[in-house]
Amino acid sequence: MNEKSHTIDITGMTCGCCSGRVTRALEATPGVLKAFISYEDNVGNVLTTSDVSISNLVEVVKSVGFGASA
């Protein structure tokens, strides 16, 4: 299995609960192996299988109420 690392800029997070919400949503996404989200730095690093696109990850973050871009 090939793994890829993606970096996502995330806006709107203000606390650990926010980053936890994003983490849970991303890690529930098929193909996501692990998500490391920092509300302090407004960034997410996501480890996925090679078949997950960055645009899919951005849409997952947006679906839980935060801004996101690659």
Enter the tokens of residue 7: 């970096």
Whether 46 contacts 27, CB under 8 Å:
no
Measured between alpha carbons, how far is 66 from 39 in angstroms, rounded to an integer? 11
pTM for the whole structure? 0.94
pLDDT tens for each residue of 15-66: 999 999 999 999 999 999 999 999 999 999 999 998 899 999 999 999 999 9
Domains of the chain: 3-69 (3.30.70.100)
